Copies of this chain bind each other. A is one copy, B any other.
Amino acid sequence: MGILKLTEEERKLLLSPLLTKSSWEMVENRDAVKKTFTFKNFNEAFGFMTRIALRADKVDHHPEWFNVYNRVEITLATHECQGLSQRDLDLAKFIDNVYNTSTK
């Protein structure tokens, strides 16, 4: 069994809090979520990216991301199911946690 898209119920239960409480947004015309993170400088921004990269490589689930100086824009979706899966929710949570602990 491959990776499955989130069901309607999973979206209500698990995706909604991400959108209402953690500032992730749905991407237009695509079953994907995005969020922009801002840091003091490039060093902080790339440190954040590095922590995510290590996790991404370990769990074999990778973000689409853009960085310039202190800004990191991240989009999450699952290639295999062409939309959002549990893997994206897990990675989003991990990313929020890294952000919250690294900018204190």
Contacts and interface: CB of A to CB of B under 8 A. Distances in A.
Interface of A: 42-43, 46, 49-50, 53, 56-57, 62-69, 79
Contacts of A43: 57
A65 B67 contact: yes
B66 A66 contact: yes
Contact of A68 (B49, B53, B57, B62): B62
A10 to B, nearest CB: 24
Given A57-B42, A57-B46, A64 B64 contact: no
A79 B63 CA distance: 26
A67 B68 contact: no
Sorted from nearest, which 6 A-B pairs have the closest CB atoms? A64-B68, A66-B66, A46-B53, A62-B69, A42-B62, A43-B57
